[in-house]
Amino acid sequence: MSKKKFKTEVNQLLHLIIHSLYSHPEIFLRELISNASDALDTLKYLTLTDDSFKNIEFDPRIDVTFGDEEQRIVTLSQTDKKKKVITVADNGIGMNEADLEKNLGTIARSGTRDFLKSLTGDAKKDSNLIGQFGVGFYSSFMVAERVEVVSKKAGEEQAFKWISDGKGNFDIEEGVRSRNGTTVTLYLTESGEEFANHFTIEAIVKKYSNHISFPIFLNYYEEKTEGAKTVKEKKERQVNAASAMWKLPKSELKEEDYNDFYRSITHDTEDPLHSIHTQAEGKIEYTTLFFIPKKAPIDLYWADYQPGVKLYIKRVFITDDEKELLPRYLRFIRGVIDSEDLPLNISREMLQKNSILTKIRNDSVKKILSEVASLKKDREQYNSFYEEFGRPLKEGVYQDLNNQETLLELLQFKSTKSEGYTSFSEYKERMKKDQKVIYYITGENEKTLRSSPLLEAWQKRDIEVLIMDDDIDEIVIPAVGKYKEIELKSLNRSDALDDMKSQADKEQEKKIAPLVKRIKEILKDEVKDVRASTRLSDSPSCIVADEKDPTIQLQHILKSMGQMEVPEVKPILEINPSHKIVKKLEKTEDKALFEDIARLLFEQALLMEGVQPKDTPSFVQRLNRTLERSL
C-alpha cells in the first residue's frame, strides 16, 4: 500500500467543499455520473480511432447501486457491515496507479491557490463552481465519511484502489476488478443516508443527467414475501433517456428538455437565459445547441478560462478544451457542436485550420448574435443579459471586424438624456437636426462622470452625451470611430468642441491669452498646454487629452495590464474665462498667490477626473494658505 498526503491547498479546499462551499449536497451524484460519462466518451473515441483499442469490447453503461453492505454487488470489508453505501460504476477507460494519484490527488488544474482566493461572499454558495474547477469528485465528501475508488485501465492487467476519508491522506494499493472501468464507493455519513433510496437517486439522475448519452442503470433490492419468508429481489432498470438530445428534432423537444440538458452539461443549478438549436443540412451537415447562461461564469475574465462548447463528430465526443470553436468574446456560450463531415481522428492543429469547422464557426457566430439581438424584444431581459455579458460583446467589437456592425447594435450605455441603458440607434433617433456627431464621455464611474465639468457645454446646448464608465470603452470606442458614418467624439479630448466654436469664443481666447501664458509658465512641467475653454460654464477648469494622446484613464488601463513602459502623457488644462476665480486671478499681482491658485486650478481638475495630485502634501499646504487668505 502506498500512503500519500494531499497538498496543503487541497486540504483547505476539501474543508471548504465539505463544510461551506456547496448548498446542494445532491450534486455529488451528478459529478460522479459526469466523470463516468467522460471515461466512456474517451474509450468510445479510442475504440474508433486507435488500433490498440479496437479489440476492446465496448458496451457502455453506468451503474448506480445503493443499500447496506450485504445487499451490494461490490464487496466491502467486514468492519463496514450494514454501513449505508452508494456506488457509481462504469466500464470506460479506467485509471492506473499514476492516473489515480494525478487525478484524485490534485484539485483545480486552473490553479488551486487562485481558486481559493476567489471564494468570497456569495461564490461560496455557487454550486456551478464545481464544474469550472475540476473538483467534482471531491463533492463526494459532503455525504461520505470515506471514499474508495477501484479502477482498471483499458489494455492493462492490474487494477488499483484509491482510499481516503478526505482529511489529509489517501492510500493507493493493488485492487481487483474483472474488466476495465472504475467503481466509486461512498460510505455515507448519517446525513448522507437520505440519498440511499431509489426514489431520491432516480430523481437526481433525471434532474441532472437525463441526457447523458450512455445508459444509467439503477441497481437496488426490493423485499417481497414468499410464503413465510421475506426475500430480497435484485432490481435493475435504466433511469435516463440516454439520447444525443441535440440530434432530436426541435418539434419533439420542450423547454424543460432544453433546461435539463443545459444543467447536465454545465452543472448550473439555474435554467439558461436562452437556448439556440440549429440543424443545418446541405453541403455541410451539422447540429449546434447553444445556451446563454443567466449568470457569467466565474472564470469569464481569466486568461485560462474553461471553454463552454463541446465538439462531437457523428455523436462521438472529441473535445471540450478547444478555445477556437467560438471566438473568445463568446466564451460565455455553453453547448454542443456536432459535425457529420469531420474525420474522427482529426488533430487539434487540423481543427484550427479546417474549412468545415471555420464555416460552422462563422455561421454559429451570426446565429448567436442574431438570437442575442432578439432578446431586445424584452428590454428587461436584455438588460439582465447585458449586465452579465456586455463587456465581452465590447471585446467582440474590437476583435471581430466581420461582425462589428452587428455587435455595435447590441451595445448599450448610460446617457444624460434617458433612464437606464440606451443604444447607438436610440441616441441617433434623438439627435438634433443640425447635430453631426455622437458625443460620449469616459471615466471610472457613472456618478463622477455625471458631475464632470466636461459636460457643461453640452448641457448648456441641451445635447445628449453617452456615459461610458467601463474601462474597456476607452479602448473599443476610439478604435471604432464611427457608427453608421456618424463620428463618435470623446468629451475627454481637446477637439470635442471644435465644430461648435463661435467667433465670440475665438475673440475670448485672444483676450485671455496673457493669463494663459502666465499659467502655462508655472505648470510647464506638468501640462502639455493651457488653453481658454469654450466648454466650461460653471467650473473654473478642467483637463482633457490632446486629440492624438491617450487619456489619463487609458494610461491607467495600460499600466494595470502590465504595460509598465507606457510613457506619461501630460494633459491639457482648460480654464474658464468667464468664471469669477479666473477673472480675479487675471488681476492678481501677488506672485505667490497667483502660483497657488494656478496650481489649485490644475489639481482640482485632476481630482474631478479621479486622479490624485502627485504631491499631496504640497496640495494641502496650498489649499490651507488659500483658505487662510480668504478668511
Q: Residue 1 has what pLDDT?
A: 67
SS3 state at 286: strand
| Strands 541-544 and 62-67, bridge-based pairing | unpaired
Q: In sequence order, what DSSP letters do the residues of 452-466 get, joined into one string? A: -GGGHHHHHTT--EE
Query: Residue 594 has which C-alpha cell?
Result: 497667483
Written as nine digits, the cell of 336 is: 454542443
> How many residues in the chain?
631
- By residue range, what is the domain housing residue 261? 245-377
- How far is Cα 625 from Cα 631, in angstroms, rounded to an integer? 10
Is the CA virtual torsion 464, 477, 568, 560 positive or negative?
A: positive
Residues 152 and 190 in one domain: yes
The 3-state DSSP class for residue 603 equals: helix
Q: Are 218 and 239 in contact (CB under 8 A)?
A: yes
Number of H helices, E strands in the chain: 21, 22
Per-state percent for the chain, helix, strand, coil, to nearest 5 = 45, 20, 35
| Bridging pattern class, strands 572-575 and 529-532 | parallel
Are residues 194 and 24 in contact, defined by beta-carbon separation less than 8 angstroms? Answer: no
In a domain, 384, yes or no: no
Of the residues 354, 377, 400, the one at which a domain ends: 377
Is-contact 276 288, C-beta < 8 A? yes
Q: Taking a C-beta distance cutoff of 8 angstroms, is the pair 399, 328 a contact? A: yes
Cα–Cα distance, 112 to 114 (Å, whole number): 6
Place of cell 487609458: 554
User: Are 221 and 251 in the same domain?
Assistant: no
527: CB partners within 8 A, 6+ apart: 520, 543, 570, 571, 572, 573, 602
Q: Return the CATH number at 107.
A: 3.30.565.10
180 and 262 assigned to the same domain = no
Per DSSP, the three-state class of 513 is helix
pLDDT of res. 111: 41
On whether both 100 and 249 belong to a single domain, the answer is no
* pLDDT confidence of residue 560: 64
Under 8 Å between Cβ of 258 and 275: yes
Residue 396 lies in a domain: no
d(Cα 427, Cα 431) in Å, to the nearest integer?
A: 6
Shortest CA distance to 598 belongs to which of 569, 560, 626, 629?
626
Measure Cα distances from 228 to 221, 225, 365 in Å.
19, 7, 68
Q: Among residues 319, 353, 323, which one has the least CA distance to residue 338?
A: 319
**Where does a domain end: 316, 351, 377?**
377
| DSSP code of residue 106 | -
Residue 465 lies in a domain: no
One domain, residues 64 and 190: yes
Cell of 189: 455519513
Q: For residue 11, what pLDDT is reported?
A: 61
CA 605 – CA 573 distance, rounded (Å): 8
* One domain for residues 233 and 258: no
**SS3 per residue for 359-390:** HHHHHHHHHHHHHHHHHHHCHHHHHHHHHHHH
For residue 125, being part of any structural domain is answered with yes
**Cell numbers standing for residue 142:** 459532503
Q: How far apart are CA 218 and CA 197, in angstroms?
A: 10
Question: Domain containing 582 — which CATH number?
Answer: 1.20.120.790
Model-level pTM?
Answer: 0.74
- Decide which of 238, 266, 282 is a domain's last residue: 238
Task: Look at residue 473 and tell me if it is in a domain.
Answer: no
**Cα atoms in the 13 Å half-sphere on the side-chain side of 377:** 5
Q: Are strands 437-442 and 465-468 parallel, antiparallel or unpaired?
A: parallel
Domain with residue 274: its CATH number is 3.30.230.80
Round to whole Å and give the CA distance between 273 and 294.
5
3-state secondary structure of 594: helix
User: pLDDT means per 10 residues in the chain (631 residues)?
Assistant: 63 61 74 90 91 92 80 42 84 94 65 48 43 64 92 96 87 94 94 89 86 89 75 86 89 93 87 96 94 94 91 86 93 95 79 90 97 96 97 96 97 93 96 93 89 92 94 91 94 84 79 93 94 91 86 70 67 93 92 94 90 90 91 82
If asked whether residues 31 and 147 sit together in one domain, one would say yes
Rg over alpha carbons for the chain, rounded to the nearest Å, is 33
For residues 259 and 230, state if they share a domain.
no
Q: What are phi and psi of 169, to 5 degrees?
A: -125, 160
Q: Are residues 184 and 47 both part of a single domain?
A: yes
Amino acid letter, 527: V
Same domain for 260 and 334? yes
**Is 406 a member of any domain?**
no
SS3 category, 216: strand
| 464 touches 416 (CB < 8 A) | yes
460 lies in some domain = no
The domain total for the chain is 3
Say which residue the cell 426490493 belongs to. 222
Q: 292 and 328 in one domain?
A: yes
Question: 274-280 and 286-292: which strand pairing?
Answer: antiparallel
Give the cell for residue 214: 450512455
Residue 471 and residue 444 in contact, taking contact as beta carbons nearer than 8 Å:
yes
Rounded to whole angstroms, the Cα distance separating 465 from 138 reads 52
Q: 325 lies in a domain?
A: yes
231 with 249, same domain: the answer is no
